[in-house]
Each structure stands twice: as structure tokens, then as C-alpha cells.
Amino acid sequence: MLIMFDCDGVLVDSEIIAGRVDSEHLAEVGFNITPEDVIRRFTGLTSEGIVEIIEAEIGKPLPPGFREAQDAELNRRLAEEVEAIPGALELLDMLDGPRCVCSNSSTDRLRITMERTGLWDRFEPSIWSAVEVGSHRPKPDPNVYLYGLEQFRAEPRETIVIEDSVFGVTAAHSAGCRVIGFTGGQHAWPGLADLLTAAGAETVTNRLADIPRIAEAFKVWDGIDS
């Protein structure tokens, strides 16, 4: 059984850092939003997608170089602060089937977070950025998951995706995969599990250690062979 992982908020605890950086930079241009609201509204989107929403709300473009400065600061903070989600490395030790990472983050950012946390070599070369493969469409488009399925020649209903955002669950569900919602990152909030379920997650957990047991249960529920 193929297991496809989102990265931010599933393997690396990066969303809380991104929320703080976005909040700080947006305040500088008069868009006041708390890190918590950044997380609730924008988790799972690309930087470009977030900028488009902000510009539509303020009715004008953000200053030249804004996104580049924001991304540079986030990369610096991630390189210094990000940690693996508790249990991530231990989970990978337990899994013996094929696996990959399908993310909205760029490959450069994935390398920053995954190398710092010791995860890069556990997945490479099967680490894909949605905007760099296939149709180049980010989640909630199913592009990156369809691309991953194609690389492994895997059947969607014999594939499990682990996602922490509504956009990600929507993408995986649209690709026909079975989805586990994950709420074990620091950015998770009360009510997130319900949103993930509504988007298409078959079950939700806040512990990566539960994934092997859930995967086995999925086989029983649909008669999937390993």
C-alpha cells in the first residue's frame, strides 16, 4: 500500500512558524491578522495563493518585493527552528511499503525543512512540489497526488494520504485516494478535525503512531491487499 504524506503540518511542525512570520509581515503593510487566524485561513495554500487573497481584500497590490522578503524570512526561521512532528521518524521506521511526499511547498523549502529534521533522505527522490510537477496546479487541485499515483503506478483506492489541511484533504479525495486527517501539529485548533472530515477524510488522528493501525483497518474495510 502506497502512503503519500503532506509535509508541512504532517511531517514537519512548520505551520505555526509560517503563521507567525506571515502575521508579522502583513502587519507591516497594515493588514492586521493574528498567527492563529493566518493558520485557520491559509494553511495548505501556496505563498502566491495567500498573496492573491490579501491583495483582493486590501484592494491593491502588496509592495514590490514583499513576497520575496516574507519567503526569505520564513526560510531563515524554518532553517533555525523547525522540528519534526513527534513520531515522524519512528513512523517511517515502522513502514515498509512505498511512500512519498506531495506538498504545495517548493522543492527548495521542502529541502530546508526535511533536511533539518532528518526526513529528506527517508523519502528522496519521491518528494514532489505541486507547482513543479504535472499540471503545476497546487492543492486543492489533485494534480500532485495524481502525479504521485502515476509515478508509483498505484491505484487510488489502494493509496493512503495523510493531510492536515482542508485544501490538502480536498486534493487527495478528488484524486480518489483514501485520506487520514492529521491534527497533531502545533497549529491544529478545535474544530479542525470536523473540517477535515467534511472535506473527505475517512478518519482523523492526532498521533502519527496510529497510522499503521489505521492503514490495516482500511484494508479490512475495503478488502485492500497489501
Distance CA 94, CA 88 (A): 10
- Per-residue pLDDT, averaged over 86-97, amounts to 96
Element (H, E) at 204: strand 203-205
Residue 62 is which amino acid? L
State the cell numbers at 190. 478545535
Report helix, strand or coil for 87.
coil
- In this model, does residue 44 exceed pLDDT 90? no
Question: What mean pLDDT is predicted for residues 56-84?
Answer: 93
Residue 45 has pLDDT above 90, yes or no: no
Kindly report the average pLDDT of the chain as a whole number. 94
Residue 222: count of CB within 10 angstroms of its CB: 11
Q: What is the pLDDT of residue 10?
A: 98
Report the phi/psi class of residue 223: left, alpha or beta, with left for phi > 0 and alpha for psi in -120 to 50: left
Looking at domain 2-14+83-222, does it have CATH number 3.40.50.1000?
A: yes
Which DSSP string do the residues of 26-38 spell out, in sequence order? HHHTT----HHHH
15-81 and 2-14+83-222 share a CATH fold: no
Q: Candidates 1.10.357.140, 2.130.10.10, 3.40.630.40, 1.10.150.240; correct CATH number of 15-81? A: 1.10.150.240
Determine the pLDDT at residue 20.
Answer: 95
Residue 120 has pLDDT above 90, yes or no: yes
Distance of alpha carbon 3 from alpha carbon 188, whole angstroms: 22
Mean pLDDT value of segment 92-96: 94
- The fraction of the chain above a pLDDT of 90, given in percent, is 83
226 pLDDT above the threshold of 50: no
Q: Would you list the domain boundaries of the chain? A: 2-14+83-222, 15-81
Percent residues over pLDDT 70 in the chain:
98
**Three cell numbers, residue 45:** 495554500
* pTM, rounded to two decimals: 0.92
C-alpha 205/C-alpha 214 separation (Å) is: 9
Weakest mean pLDDT among 8-12, 53-57, 121-125, 166-170: 53-57
CB neighbours of residue 125 within 10 Å: 7
Check residue 51 and give its pLDDT: 86
